Structure formats: C-alpha cells, structure tokens
Amino acid sequence: MVVLTIVAQKNGGTVYFDEPIPQVHFMRLISCSLYNSWHHLNRVSQMNLYGVHVTPETLASIPGGHYNVYTLIKELKSNLEENKNKAGVKFETNNPNSLLKITSKQVVTITHELAALLGTGTRLDVTSYVKKLNMPSAYFIHCDLIDRSKNLFNGKRSDVLAKFDIHVRGLPYNKVNYPPLPQEALSECSTDQHVNQISLSVKDESGELFDFKGLPLEFVLELN
C-alpha cells in the first residue's frame, strides 16, 4: 500500500513521479482540501439583462464565472449604473419571502443561463422573488487511473474516484477540508505496469471543471 499526498496548482493537471510506483490494482481517495467555488454561469458565455422595448436594449452584461448572491448583485448594479439603469431595477436581499427580491419599473427579460442560476423564468415582472441560487451540489473527483470498464457511477461507466457534497458554509475561496471516505470506497484501476504519472480533476455534475483561480488542491490517495 502507498499513501500519496498530492498538491496541485491547477485543476485537471498531471503530476509526474520522480520514481515510478509499482502496478496499482485499487485506489481510493482518503480526503481532499478544496477551496469554495461557485461556478454558476458558463465561463464562455456572457449573461445579459435586457429591457423590453420595441428593440430590446442591453441593460447589463454579466461575465461567466463564480458568483454568490452578493457578488452577482454587485456585478449587476455596476453594469446597470453604467447604462443609467433605464429600467429602474433594484435588489433587496434577505427579503422575508425570498433570498433576493428584484423590482423594476418595467418588465425585463434575461438569458436562459441567468434564469437557471436565479431559478426564475426568462421574463421578470416588475416584482420577482428568488428563493435560492441554483448552484452545483457536489464535487466529482476524476482520476485517469480508474478502469472505466469496471467502475460504474450512477449507472454509467465513469472515471469518477469519489464524490463530495459541496459545503455551503464560508465565503468564496475559503479552504474546506473534506473528510475521509469509507474504507470500502475502493476503485479498480486499469494499470498493467508501473505508474509514472497521475491526473486528477474536480468537476461538477455536468462534467465541467471547477476553476479554483490557481488556489492549490490537495488530495490524499491510497494506492494498492
């Protein structure tokens, strides 16, 4: 048995060993340390809030990335102010009826991605309530040594080594230590020779990589 502690500066990176490790038959993730990350909006998409006129007018553009309710409001307010907030959009947090209350002088529409994050339709009336932000619920730890032909995850063949429910406590990019997994959480490996390298990645339910902004990811692995 070999216990490895791997610290990676990049999610999805590969670690190379100075000396090869003998053939690995089984492995498990003992624990890991990750930083809080909210990857709400597609990183390659721009989120737009539109005013409903004869010709729709862009009121705010939201870059894809990581948001909680406060950083999202800050980004929206900044954009709205630059465009003179022509629809008179206002935000109220910790409303008795919701996490976020959005009011405006007129109906506005938003893109599907932003609507999915807010848990609303793409049309916001003069008063809209957001009950909660729809955020990823789990970290899926992928490893290139896993034998996809023998390991099943949610009924599908997968290279998933482990799953951790995302802790909702703390602030963005606070470090969180995820506890040891059960001893029986062993996964079969596909190596038939010495191992010279290993690739680990942290993804969401859709298989999208989390962006930890260069903050280190730490994994403790058991190899058998």
Of 130, 164, 186, the domain-final residue? 130
Q: Give the number of C-alpha atoms closer than 13 A to the C-alpha of residue 137, restricted to the C-beta side.
A: 2
**30 Cβ partners below 8 Å, 6+ apart?**
3, 180, 181, 220, 221, 222
Residues 94-108 as b or e (16 or more Cβ within 10 Å = b): eeeebebbbebeeeb
Domain that holds residue 217: 2-38+136-223
| CATH code, domain with 171 | 2.60.120.1100
Each residue's pLDDT tens digit, 99-145: 999 999 888 888 888 888 888 998 888 999 998 888 777 889 999 99
Do 31 and 141 lie in one domain? The reply is yes
Do 65 and 78 lie in one domain? The reply is yes
The count of domains in the chain is 2
Taking the CA atoms of 121, 154, 42 and 99 in sequence, report the sign of the dihedral they define. Answer: positive
Of 130, 153, 186, the domain-final residue? 130
Each residue's pLDDT tens digit, 146-204: 999 888 876 788 899 998 887 655 666 778 888 877 766 789 998 878 999 999 999 98
Of 130, 152, 176, the domain-final residue? 130
What pTM was computed for the model?
A: 0.69
Each residue's pLDDT tens digit, 8-34: 989 998 999 999 998 899 999 999 998
Q: Which of 157, 138, 146, 141 is nearest to 186 (CA)?
A: 146
Distance CA 134, CA 69 (A): 11
Do 30 and 141 lie in one domain? The reply is yes
> Which pLDDT score is estimated for 44?
41
